[in-house]
Amino acid sequence: MQYMMLVCGDENMELSAAEIDQMRTDTVAWVEEMDGRGVRKFGDRLRHTESATTVRVRDGETLLADGPFAETKEQILGFDLLECADLEEALAVAAAHPSARLGTIEVRPLWVE
């Protein structure tokens, strides 16, 4: 079954150079392990919310707004598409992601009919 894993956190969190290097090292190791297991199908980081554009269509008119959909304490920082046997495995994969130590990981099954 496929799951979308959203990596959420505070994009303005201040980390030391050593903490940044450790997160990068740990994340590369996580990606390599999950790719090697065939669990991670695709994923990437996202640029900061200041580069986001929100699109809405109301009464046939397209409305564009700079920034994310909502003001929140945490932002979506990245994503990974997972192929797991079940939710239990997807949650274990998410819990192993280094960003779970500093932020939040949301896991959702893809809507397949």
Residues whose CB is less than 8 angstroms from the CB of residue 92 and which lie 6 or more positions away in sequence, other chains included: none
Q: What is the pLDDT of residue 73?
A: 78
Q: According to the CATH classification, is domain 2-13+38-109 in 3.40.50.720?
A: no
Task: Give the number of residues written for the chain.
Answer: 113
Query: Where in the chain are the domains?
Result: 2-13+38-109
pTM confidence score: 0.86
Q: What is the pLDDT of residue 70?
A: 66
Question: Is it the case that residue 1 has pLDDT exceeding 70?
Answer: yes
The helix (H) or strand (E) run that includes residue 83 is strand 75-83
